[in-house]
Amino acid sequence: MRRALVTGITGQDGSFLAEFLLEKNYEVHGIIRRSSSFNTGRINHIFDKLHLYYADVTDASRIAHLIKDIHPDEIYSLAAQSHVRVSFDEPMNTAQIDAMGVLNILDCIKDTDIKMYQASSSEIFGSTKPPHNEKSKFRPQSPYACSKVFAHFLTDNYRDAYNVFACCGILFNHESERRGETFVTRKITRAATRIKVGLQDKLVLGNLSAKRDWGYAKDYVKAMWMMLQYDKPDDYVVAIGKSYSVKEFLDAVFNYLNLDWEKYVQFDERYFRPTEVDHLLGDATKIKETLGWEPTVGFDELVRIMVDADLKLAGNERMLENA
C-alpha cells in the first residue's frame, strides 16, 4: 500500500484528491489547520479512512517531524492562501504559506526518494497574452501569483540541484460543487440558486469581463496523480483549452435557472483587483500527449453540476427556514 501526504486536504482539491487516492488503495495522510470551528466538511464522508494531523506548512520543524514519521511515497503540496483578491490585503501571509511553506517541504525531502507534486497556478502567467503553455513567460499580477512563481521556480531548482522527483502542475481555473463560496463561480451559483428559491434578492460582483479557462476539479486532481506516476518529473499545464468570461458564466447559470441576472446583480468596485488579469487560456498539449490526460467535463456540464448541487443546498435551507 502506497502512502500519500496531502497538505490542504480540507480544500476543494484536497478532498477530491483524497477520494481519488483512497480509490487507488493509498494510505492517505493529511495536514489540517487548527480552527475554533469545524473545517472538515469536504472530507467528513471519508474522515474515518484518513490519517489527519494538525500542522501549518509555515512551521518548518513540525513539517519535518511529520514527513520523517509518516515517510510518504508521495507528497501533494496543495496548502495555500488561494484567494487572489485577498492576497493584496494579506501579502505577507500569502507569501509565507504559498512560497515559504513549499520551501519547508522541499528542504525536507531533498535527500529522500519521496515524490512531490507542487500546485502551481495559471495566475503566474498574469498579463502574458494567451494561449499559455509551459514555455510562456511568467508575468504575475498579484502577491498570490508572485508567491506561486517563487514556489514554481524553487521546485524546479530542487529538481535540478538535488534530483528531487518534483512536478509543478500549472492548473488553470478548476471549479466544482466544493469550491469555496468566496470564489466568483461558486459565489454566482450559490446566490443564483438562493434567489431561485426566494432566500436572496441580489448578488454583488466586480469585474465581469475577465476571461478564464474553467474545468472540473475532479478531472484536475487525476492529472496531479498522473504526473507522479510518470518515469521522470516535469511541469505541466492542465487546462480545458477554452475560455469564457465571468459574464458568460453568469449568463449560463441564470439561464439554466430561467432567471434574468440583470434584475439581481449589482456591482461594487471593492471586488476589483488593483491589477487585473484579463485573459487566461491554457494549452494542455504536453500533458495530453505525454501522460494521456483528458478532461471529461466541459463548461456547460460544469455549470450544471454546480447549479444542481447548490439548488439542492438552497432547497434544504428553505425547508429549514420554513420549519
Q: What's the pLDDT tens digit per position in 224-266?
A: 999 999 999 999 999 999 999 999 999 999 999 999 999 999 9
Q: Which of 120, 121, 122, 176 is catalytic?
A: 121
Answer yes or no: is pLDDT of 72 > 80: yes
Query: Do 15 and 83 fall into the same domain?
Result: yes
Same domain, yes or no: 87 and 228: yes
Active site residue 181: no
pTM for the full predicted model = 0.96
The Cα 100–Cα 313 span in angstroms is 37
- Residue 273: what pLDDT? 85
Show the domain range for 184.
180-212+242-278+297-322
| Catalytic residue flag (residue 301) | no
Average pLDDT over residues 70-74: 97
The residue-averaged pLDDT of 289-304 equals 98
Which of 26, 76, 117, 144 is an active site residue? 144
C-alpha span between 39 and 182 (Å, rounded): 15
pLDDT of 69 strictly over 80: yes
Peptide bond into 131 cis (omega under 30): yes
- 120 and 93 share a domain? yes
Instruction: Residue 59: give its domain's CATH number.
Output: 3.40.50.720
pLDDT recorded at residue 322 = 84
Q: Is 123 a catalytic residue?
A: yes
- Active-site residue among 19, 123, 175, 177? 123
From 38-42, 98-102, 290-294, the region with the lowest mean pLDDT: 38-42
Whether residue 184 sits in one domain with residue 105: no
pLDDT in tens, 28-38: 999 998 877 77
Same domain (yes/no): 86, 224: yes
Whole-number mean pLDDT of the chain?
Answer: 96
Residue that the C-alpha cell 479557462 belongs to: 213
Mean pLDDT of 182-199: 97
Looking at the structure, tell me whether residues 208 and 153 fall in a common domain: no
Same domain, 135 and 195: no
Which residues, 6 or more positions from 306, have their beta carbon under 8 angstroms from its beta carbon? 175, 176, 177, 179, 185, 186, 189, 253
Number of domains composing the chain: 2
Q: What is the pLDDT of residue 229?
A: 98
